[in-house]
Structure 1
Amino acid sequence: MSTHLEDEPLSVGFVLLHRFTLMPFAAFVDCLRLAADEGDRSRQVRCHWTFMTSVGEAVLSSAGAAISPCERFRDPAEFDYLVVIGGVQDDGERTDSTALAYLRQAAEAGVPLVGLCTGLFALIQAGLMKGRRCCVSWYHHRDMIQRFPAIQPVADRLFIDDGDRLTCAGGAAAADLAAYLVERHLGKAWAMKSLNIMLLDEARAGTHPQPQPVVFGKIEDRLVRRAIAVIEQHMGEAISMEALAERIGTSRRNLERRFRESLGVSPLKFSRDLRLRYGLWLLHYTGKSITEIGERCGFADTAHFSRQFRSAFDMTPSEMRKRAGEPGSDQVDPFFLHIDGRPTL
């Protein structure tokens, strides 16, 4: 793929599918807009962008906001990149055969394709991701495995540049990918200009890890909530209860009492269970070795991690990873440590 000189505009075509996800679209296009012109004037000088749909009419986002005007699909050779943004994945989702044919046409013409958020699903449906690495949000990882068992998605990074296929987990990471492309074509100064106006300090690399979901639920006690926040920040180490209590300005005895009143367990057990749940997530959604996972979860050695894991989940980490890879298996949900009175694993 050729790289433009800095005085040549960057041209991007957007393929917007029905009920496309709004945030990755907005983050990506706003990064282009701010890099395109001086200040906040929004003229398409250094960057050009075109919104397209199969019928050339306004399209609804997943939030109900309509994007207009949109054009019918243009010659893909007009663009440096085609960015496809998918919609909400549900039982009644529609397949846009015209859009899939257009993506295949673009691939044949050698135009790099970008799958933002669930746009990746469209690239797969078009048959354009065979043998490719692809990045997907942890939130859609299980759906991806179930629908496309031959695909090996990655859910522990923000985006993947695989040459003429770029895939992004979506959300705010779309701004990082857009800045990455702006820097490649126009230079770092323009990428940084966009991010700074968007109140982002700097672009995160594609290898930057996705934030892992950890705790879900409502906890009334503010001190317990603060303690949990500290525990989440120390997933890679077994923080002592003395250090935890000191960090939030209380005594160990009071901390333990408040945890038992709110959650029915000690903060020590809560911390261990949380780190084990994180290990479960890593087993499902990354290719890291069990030794690496044990270290990332703050266990002294693999044997210790395996013993604690088996005690919590009734199987070893190796058995859990094998089970997670079996199509149609009844998996343990690795997303959250649910809290409704007490932690459950």
Structure 2
Amino acid sequence: MNPADLLPAQSPDTASKQRIRFGIVLLPNFTLTAFSGFVDLLRLSADEGDFSKPVRCSWSVIGETLAPVRASCGIQITPWETFEKAEPFDYVVVVGGLLHSGAGASDATLQFIRRAATTDATLVGICTGVFSLMRAGVLDGYRICVSWFHYWDFVERFPGVNEEMLVADRLFVMDHRRITCSGGRASIDVAAAILLRHFEAATVQKALRILLVDDMQKGNAPQPHPPGLAPATHPKVKRAILLMEQHVGRSLTLDELAHKLDLSTRQLERLFKAETGKAPQAYAKQVRLRTAAWLLTSSDKTVADIASSCGFSDASHLGREFRKQFGLPPMMYREQRGTAAPGVETLELAADFDETFPGRAQAI
């Protein structure tokens, strides 16, 4: 059935003025959760009852052609219309997914994004859709939200990016006519935040309840942290650790970290001690050493290069700190990992890091 057939009886002009129009671009190997979460909140907010009519807002899946687009899980979605035939939208939403499997956004898709940027449309990048917005050159001067999992991929692919504008410790960022979202479950939250610009809160809250979502998360809520922290860990501490991981090559000072979190240094130290049992500086050093341990076993980088990448002054400095933490020098750790047992703590720390960052090896 054509989605237009679901509309109530009213003139096309009246309907188009009342509805907020969303054009959704699915990239090859897109994440189904990110797409379905976003569009389902539109669907449930668009109409009363259980009719799913696009009354308050409408959505259309658009593409270069009408050829099906495969999601990362194998499900295929057929675009409803092509870029050339699509009418103007209020929001153009680009949904990405896997970075290292097949082609990314086509030249035609990037050209469509650039054209949309010259209109009144707001551009939305979800999951790795943010990478395509960056490739299209439409994010200059805007804050950019990426998943913590893809932070280093982003920095590597776009080395000229202003890292002060790059955010990987929040669920999403709304910066005027650019909205970027870390993906996954957060696609529901960003859809809710967008709809709250246009609809009454009760309408959006009803849709969230139908999806069994207690309440939408705000953009400044921290992204879920990798294993190792208790679920009840304070959000400010989670964000602090994410910031430490982002700046592993140049450690943030305590003052800089506290400023980014809108805390005093004393508040930050007190929170960190209560939640982790460590001071922020000690925890940051542990993050850097864990990163170095992972690089030793997953890359061919020299110890000197790893020391530089992880914020140590030189190979000797890394060697001293590494022996204190792991009980053996870096090169011996590299040689023995997986063949001998240098200590349970050593192997567990490295294994935890492998689980936390399974995609990092492809980015180095």
Same fold (TM over 0.5): yes
Residue deviations 1:83-121 (CA, integer Å, cap 9, x gap): 001231016433410000000000011311000010000
Q: How much does 1:214 deviate?
A: 2.4
Structure 1 position 186 matched with structure 2 position 199: yes
Q: Structure 1, residues 217-253: CA drift from partner, whole Å, max 9, x if none?
A: xxxxxxxxxxxxxx614646xxxxxxxxxxxxxxxxx
Q: Percent identity?
A: 35
SS of the residue 1:100 aligns to = helix
**2:254 corresponds to 1:290:** yes
Q: Whole-Å Cα distance in 1 between the matches of residues 122 and 55 of structure 2?
A: 21
Determine whether 1:9 maps to 2:13.
no
Q: Which runs of 5+ in 2 are unaligned?
A: 1-16, 259-267, 291-305, 313-317, 323-342, 351-364
Contact 1:76 1:106 (C-alpha < 8 Å) held by counterparts:
no
Which amino acid counterpart does residue 285 of structure 1 have in structure 2? Answer: Q
Within a 5 Å distance, the mapping from 1:52-91 to structure 2 comes to: 52-74=62-84, 78-90=88-100
| Matched residue SS, 1:129 | coil
Partner of 2:61: 51
Alignment-derived partner of residue 230 in structure 2: 232
Matched, 1:306 2:281: yes
CA distance in 1, matches of 2:101, 2:69: 20
Q: Indicate how the Cα distance of structure 1 residues 298 and 61 shifts in structure 2: closer, same or farther if over 3 A, else same.
A: same
Distance in 2 between residues matched to 1:204 and 1:31, nearest whole Å: 14
C-alpha distance 147-192 of structure 1, shift in aligned 2 (>3 A)? same
Matched residue count: 272
Aligned amino acid, residue 254 of structure 2: I
Relative to 1, partners in 2 of residues 1:96 and 1:79: Cα closer, same or farther, differing over 3 Å? same
Following the alignment from structure 2 to structure 1, what is the Cα–Cα distance between the partners of residues 283 and 75? 48
Deviation string, structure 1 residues 174-218 (Cα, Å, up to 9, x no partner)? 101111111211221111111000001111111111111023xxx
Query: Is the 1:160–1:167 Cα contact (8 Å) retained in structure 2?
Result: yes
Using the TM superposition, give the Cα deviation of residue 344 of structure 1 relative to its aligned residue in structure 2, in angstroms.
Answer: 1.8
Residue of 171, 174, 181 corresponding to 1:158:
171
SS at match of 1:52: strand
Distance 1:285 1:186, change over 3 A: same
Structure 1 counterpart of 2:338: none
Which residue does the alignment assign to 1:147? 157
The higher relative CO (CA closer than 8 Å, separation ≥ 6) is in 1
SS in 1 for 2:160: coil
Q: CA deviation at 1:298?
A: 1.9
Q: CA deviation at 1:77?
A: 6.0
Letter in 2 for 1:100: L
In the TM superposition, residue 150 of structure 1 has moved relative to its aligned partner by 2.1
Provide the rounded CA distance (Å) in 2 between the counterparts of 1:181 and 1:90: 30
> Which deviates the most, 167-176 or 68-77?
68-77
Change beyond 3 A, Cα 1:117–1:278: closer
CA drift of 1:306 comes to: 3.3
Q: 1:344 — aligned with what?
A: 349
1:1-345 → structure 2 map (5 Å cutoff): 8-74=18-84, 78-90=88-100, 92-151=102-161, 152=163, 153-215=166-228, 232-233=230-231, 235=233, 281-285=242-246, 289-290=253-254, 292=258, 294-298=269-273, 304-306=279-281, 310=285, 323=309, 342=345, 343-344=348-349
Q: State whether residues 63 and 79 of structure 2, in contact with CA within 8 Å, keep that contact through their aligned partners in structure 1.
A: no
Q: 1:19 to 1:234 in 2, by over 3 A?
A: closer
Distance of 2:103 and 2:88 partners within structure 1: 30
* Contact kept? 1:53, 1:73, Cα under 8 Å: yes
Could you tell me which amino acid in structure 2 is paired with residue 211 of structure 1? P
Q: What is the aligned partner in structure 2 of residue 243 from structure 1? A: none
The SS at the match of 1:25 is helix
Task: State the Cα deviation string for residues 262-287 of structure 1 (Å, max 9, x = none).
Answer: xxxxxxxxxxxxx9x99664312379
**In structure 1, distance between residues paired with 2:96 and 2:279:** 43
CA distance in 2, matches of 1:125, 1:200: 33
| 1:78 Cα deviation after fit | 2.2
- Contact 1:235-1:298 at 8 Å conserved across structures: no
Matches of 1:96 and 1:29, distance apart in 2? 23
What 5-or-longer segments of structure 1 have no aligned partner?
Answer: 1-6, 216-230, 237-274, 333-339
Q: CA deviation at 1:299?
A: 6.7
Q: What amino acid is the match of 2:208?
A: L
The alignment's TM-score, normalised by the length of structure 2, stands at 0.65
With over 3 angstroms needed to count, the CA separation of the structure-2 counterparts of 1:322 and 1:174, relative to structure 1, is: farther
Change (3 A) 1:321 1:190: farther
Query: Do the aligned partners of 2:27 and 2:105 also contact (CA within 8 Å) in 1?
Result: no
Contact 1:76 1:82 in 2 (8 A): no
Counterpart-to-counterpart distance in 1, 2:84 and 2:185: 28
What is the root-mean-square deviation in Å for CA atoms of aligned residues? 3.7
For 1:146 and 1:126, locate their aligned partners in 2 and report how far apart those are by CA, in whole Å.
17
Separation in structure 1 between the aligned mates of residue 115 and residue 233 of structure 2, nearest angstrom: 46
